Chains A and B, each alone.
Chain A
């Protein structure tokens, strides 16, 4: 399916309005009025949340107005409203996002070194069409450089998983 800009505008406006609403609710639990020492802790977020809701509703309305104009034009000239994400782009971005999410999950379970070697090798192999051994070399070389920069030069420990201890790295 093709996502239209109209849908994306509406979705975003609703989400930002939701964030504003959450802030207003959270802030009213803290109290947004006045006490002896000045404004209560919820005062600032409460009113900022209200402004956010207002601005989001305005954007929502603008999206509908624009959509109506575009529909009129579409009927008059046959020109279809600007697509936000054509199908092939949706596929490409979906694959990239899925791989990235996979990388995050792998980082949390296997540690960042194994995850990044695997992720980079997989991308070079499946997306770049490189032979498997070349892809693995790229992934491993990058990971070794990363290890040297962070753990050896800057002495910053990164997330490690169950595999590093087997190689004698802590």
Chain B
């Protein structure tokens, strides 16, 4: 069957009354999570995973991915109306979105954001549809050394391409790897790094860590900054919506450029946040005439939103085909997949076509639902933010702790959430990136197993990672991603400095 037939089959799986209901529910929950500070997409999905054990995996992934799209939309809503990014990836939307809304054009700003987000997501899903079959065939050629090389590539890309200092990314990454080794070792059956604590025997759940890092951590930052909401009117005027939609084709160049940036950053582990910033920066450099960016330029909204959503949906491709998620949320979803008993990777396409294509088809439908729902419910969700923080804050705290408890009914996890909340707060304040830690926790076991197996194959020689063309080229790309970006930055900085000296 070609990709198109498979996709049609997927639509058959995705479009049932039950799944449509899950999509609406997921998008609505995602909007709540995206709007509220302290609840973002990664930990929203973490909180929901224990509740999906009763569902079959296809319904569960449709619910979780719909929530992710909802959270992305919700994050842009608060960026534009309140100048508060609900999600890290919607920070760039505040630069021009909020000024435009302040000028009294909030409907225009919101419509621009949602429509370009929808276009971006659609671009991403089309890319996934076209590449999915090819990517999984390609991945079937992989053995243990190739898998380790791919994990290494993911880690290297975070270090080389991330905006944070490489040493800080490395700290976050290795901390995640170490946390993943705590407890029973799946290869040798030994108990590792529990330091005599019985509660650590079964390991540290990445869900608990995500809830602490992203949930409590973000709340602490919110408290420390002393949140004051200065919202603008959130009324939606239907006539303005259509006027703005008619205006959209004018920004075709920005849209195409941003879509491509999003696709690239989504497939390589750059993630949506990096994609939206990069796209905004390039759009600003590319503009020649008109008012400056930062004063409510439409391109300043179109660029980050398109890139954000196309990266967000493209991040699902490497997760499904290779088992390498390229964003924190995709990492959490992949952890969920493993909890439901599915192994992400090329075999998933062969053994569970209903699951994979059902998910891909649902991405088309739920993004459409997302755009409509978000336009219809903006005033309602904006009202959520007008609830004083002294009431909504503690409620979010309770939800986070209860969610962490439901992961494995362990009261020790409550202390872990508190501890990782502090870690998340400190790390964010000191510019340590959090996504590599989550990624490393989810991939830790798989990376170690792949390494272990390769070492057994080669009798302990590292040459195995350069033994054939496939693994060598992956390793070379990984090393280049690790070293090149920062070296180029450094050399251009040195060159700029020379004339002064």
Contacts and interface: CB of A to CB of B under 8 A. Distances in A.
Interface residues of B, number: 57
17 contacts: A8-B429, A22-B193, A23-B178, A38-B455, A41-B188, A42-B192, A44-B452, A45-B178, A45-B181, A52-B170, A58-B167, A59-B167, A89-B226, A92-B223, A93-B223, A146-B402, A156-B50
Interface string B394-412: 1101100110011001010
B11 interface: no
Interface of A: 5, 8-9, 12, 16, 19-20, 22-23, 26-27, 30, 34, 37-42, 44-45, 48-49, 51-52, 55-56, 58-59, 62, 84-85, 89, 92-93, 96-97, 99-101, 103-104, 107-108, 112, 116, 119-120, 123-124, 127-130, 138, 142, 146, 150, 154, 156-159
Contacts of B394: 99, 103, 119-120, 123-124
B401 A103 contact: yes
Nearest to B390: A128
A56 B174 CA distance: 11
Given A120-B398, A123-B394, A62 B165 contact: yes
A127 B390 contact: yes
Given A8-B430, A48-B174, A97-B220, A59 B168 contact: yes
B388 A158 contact: no
Contacts of B223: 92-93, 96
A154 B51 contact: yes
Contacts of B398: 103, 112, 116, 119-120, 142, 146
Contacts of A99: 394
A105 B7 CA distance: 51
A127 B398 CA distance: 17
A85 B195 CA distance: 33
B451 A44 contact: yes
Given A93-B223, A100-B397, A123-B393, A26 B452 contact: no
Interface string B425-456: 01101101000000000000000100110011
B343 to A, nearest CB: 21
Nearest to B453: A38
